[in-house]
Amino acid sequence: MRTVPPRNLLDVDDLSPGEIVSVLDRAVAFRDRLPPRDLLAGVPVLNLFFEASTRTATSFTLAEQRVGADVITFAPGASSLGKGETIADTALTLSGIGVRVIVVRHPESGFARRLADAFDGHVVNAGDGTHAHPTQALLDLMTLRQEFDRFHGLHVAIVGDILHSRVARSNIVGMRALGIDVTLVGPPTLLPHEFAGDGVRVERDLDAVLGRVDAVMMLRIQRERIETGLLPALDDYTRRYQLNRTRLRSLRGDAVILHPGPYNRGIELTDDVLDDPRSRYVAQVRNGVFVRMAVLDLLVNGAPVVAA
Min CB(133)–ligand CP separation in Å: 6
Shorter beta-carbon distance to ligand CP: residue 17 or 261: 261
Shorter beta-carbon distance to ligand CP: residue 56 or 125: 56
Q: Which of 269, 255, 210, 263 is nearest to 55 (CA)?
A: 263
Q: Minimal CB distance to ligand CP: which residue?
A: 56
Shorter beta-carbon distance to ligand CP: residue 190 or 285: 285
Tell me, what amino acid is at 20?
Answer: I
| Binding segment (CB under 6 A) for ligand CP, from list 33-41, 68-76, 87-95, 254-262 | 254-262
Tell me, what amino acid is at 116?
Answer: A
Min CB(256)–ligand CP separation in Å: 17
Binders in 102-131 for ligand CP, by CB under 6 A: 127
For position 55 contacting ligand CP by CB under 6 A, the verdict is yes
For position 54 contacting ligand CP by CB under 6 A, the verdict is yes
For position 53 contacting ligand CP by CB under 6 A, the verdict is yes
For position 56 contacting ligand CP by CB under 6 A, the verdict is yes
For position 286 contacting ligand CP by CB under 6 A, the verdict is no
| Binding segment (CB under 6 A) for ligand CP, from list 48-56, 170-178, 205-213, 240-248 | 48-56
Which residue in the set 136, 165, 170, 270 belongs to the binding site for ligand CP (CB under 6 A)?
136
Q: What residues line the site for ligand CP (CB under 6 A)?
A: 53-56, 127, 133, 136, 260-262
